[in-house]
Amino acid sequence: MATAWSRHYAQRINAVRSSVIRDLLKLTQRPEVISFAGGLPAPELFPIDRFEEACHTVLQHNGAAALQYGPTEGYLPLRELIVSNMRRYGIVADVANVLITCGSQQALDLIGKLLIDPGDRVLVEAPTYLGALQAFNVYGARYVSLPVDHDGIRTDGLHEALRSSPKFMYILPNFQNPAGVTLSEERREKLVLLADARGIPIVEDDPYGQLRYEGEHRTALVVLDRVQRRTDLRYMSGNVIYLSTFSKLLAPGLRLGWVVAPQEVIARLVQLKQGADLHTSTFIQMVAYEVARDGFLDQHVKRIRAVYGERRDTMLAALQGCFPDEATWTRPEGGLFLWVTLPPATNCEELFQAALRQNVAFVPGGPFYCGEPDGCHLRLNFSNSTPEQIHEGIRRLGIVVKEQLKRPALSAV
């Protein structure tokens, strides 16, 4: 290289490492690999014909507006549709509380930009969504974490964790990525109460909440927060910023997510989004609206639930049949992932390589921790493989795991 560009980079950027998972995923893309590694929706469920109809309608009736610059806040009818969609889950907001983003990932970036000064701590789950860590790291975030169990983030250590005065808490309450666990009602209330009492905002990331395959919907933190505050239900004024996305409900290739927040927060996020990309594609927003409208989104989500629910059941049964007794795993009530725990001495990296030699892939759990991982974990995605692939893939993986457990662990030598 003629120029040593690295000397020009901002200090915090030179500290940011490349994503391990990104590099891993490249290895898993050979067609012969059965991959439980990505977090991809099933492409065979994409409503392609409905999209084509929508493109036709938008371009013929509204082409000039669809291809022109648009408002930073987003396309009004789409924001209205989101408002009415969320109302069914008890989240009562006004369009003025909704901002359209380029996927939830952009919401995480804008929130990091808005709230994080270098050195600020963020309270996260261990493990947590890797993409959030990537978004926050850039702004110089440090972390304090609390472990996750089958009922979500453990709140018994919360008082202690809050002593480090985190700037905000980042929580995935439903079918968490990567662990697939759901926060219990009791813990939700405790979390919201304490956050409120201590004046520490909660960022509630809920990409999968509508993809529930069993059990009852749990109350969103943003709703609990409002009930506890007894604020006007028609007006968001709480302590929670809520995020969701069309990526898992319609298609991730749209890059469409949304933020629900108090108006003053939305106003600031709009300002930051304007500097970040002016606005999200007008055309894509109009097309998504045309696809989702007239009840189509709900029907489509029902269809996804049926297919993914079956795939989850298939994977749980296959794990039961093929994995050794030393392995445990979560039983997600929804979402895209489950989380396998192996004995702490297992070498997860070796396991990944051995699995890949058998043409089956997963994501090792390490990168999902802001600090040291607690042992060896596998994140398994069940949405993007057919039941047949799941059977065969888990069978192969079971053999690899059993072999790995027989070998003397390097860390135990």
Helix %, strand %, coil % of the chain (to 5): 45, 15, 40
Task: Tell me the closest approach of the beta carbon of residue 366 to a second copy, in angstroms.
Answer: 18
Can you read off the two tokens belonging to residue 296? 């189509």
Backbone φ and ψ for 66, nearest 5 degrees, come out as -65, -30
Task: Tell me the closest approach of the beta carbon of residue 275 to a second copy, in angstroms.
Answer: 4
Task: Tell me the closest approach of the beta carbon of residue 71 to a second copy, in angstroms.
Answer: 10
Q: Return the residue matching tokens 């047949």.
A: 388
Q: Please check whether residue 183 is in contact with residue 151, taking contact to mean a CB–CB distance below 8 angstroms.
A: yes
Task: Tell me the closest approach of the beta carbon of residue 137 to a second copy, in angstroms.
Answer: 7
Instruction: Kindly tell me which of 51 and 382 has the beta carbon lying closer to a second copy.
Output: 51
Task: Tell me the closest approach of the beta carbon of residue 280 to a second copy, in angstroms.
Answer: 7
Residue 160 vs residues 144, 166, 207, 383: alpha-carbon distances, Å: 10, 11, 29, 37
Closest CA to 245 of 215, 271, 208, 272: 208
Q: How far apart are CA 397 and CA 319, in angstroms?
A: 9
Q: Kindly state the greatest CA–CA separation across the chain.
A: 70
Q: How far apart are CA 240 and CA 259, in angstroms?
A: 11
Backbone φ and ψ for 161, nearest 5 degrees, come out as -65, -35
Hey, which residues does 334 pair with through a beta bridge? 212
Can you read off the two tokens belonging to residue 235? 């007006």
Q: How far apart are CA 327 and CA 340, in angstroms?
A: 7
Task: Tell me the closest approach of the beta carbon of residue 346 to a second copy, in angstroms.
Answer: 29
Can you read off the two tokens belonging to residue 299? 């029907």
Instruction: Kindly tell me which of 125 and 225 has the beta carbon lying closer to a second copy.
Output: 225
By CB neighbour count within 10 A (0-12 exposed, 13-18 middle, 19+ buried), where does 402 fall?
middle
Instruction: Kindly tell me which of 16 and 306 has the beta carbon lying closer to a second copy.
Output: 16
Instruction: Kindly tell me which of 137 and 210 has the beta carbon lying closer to a second copy.
Output: 137
Q: How far apart are CA 142 and CA 122, in angstroms?
A: 6
Q: Return the residue matching tokens 């050195």.
A: 119
| Pairing outcome for strands 168-171 and 202-205 | parallel
Task: Tell me the closest approach of the beta carbon of residue 276 to a second copy, in angstroms.
Answer: 5
Instruction: Kindly tell me which of 323 and 369 has the beta carbon lying closer to a second copy.
Output: 369
Instruction: Kindly tell me which of 48 and 306 has the beta carbon lying closer to a second copy.
Output: 48
Task: Tell me the closest approach of the beta carbon of residue 138 to a second copy, in angstroms.
Answer: 6
Task: Tell me the closest approach of the beta carbon of residue 356 to a second copy, in angstroms.
Answer: 20
Can you read off the two tokens belonging to residue 205? 């990331």
Q: Please check whether residue 246 is in contact with residue 255, taking contact to mean a CB–CB distance below 8 angstroms.
A: no
Q: How far apart are CA 382 and CA 202, in angstroms?
A: 29
Instruction: Kindly tell me which of 42 and 399 has the beta carbon lying closer to a second copy.
Output: 42
Hey, which residues does 126 pair with through a beta bridge? 147
Instruction: Kindly tell me which of 5 and 32 has the beta carbon lying closer to a second copy.
Output: 5
Instruction: Kindly tell me which of 292 and 327 has the beta carbon lying closer to a second copy.
Output: 292
Task: Tell me the closest approach of the beta carbon of residue 286 to a second copy, in angstroms.
Answer: 9
DSSP state of 334: B
Instruction: Kindly tell me which of 58 and 360 has the beta carbon lying closer to a second copy.
Output: 58
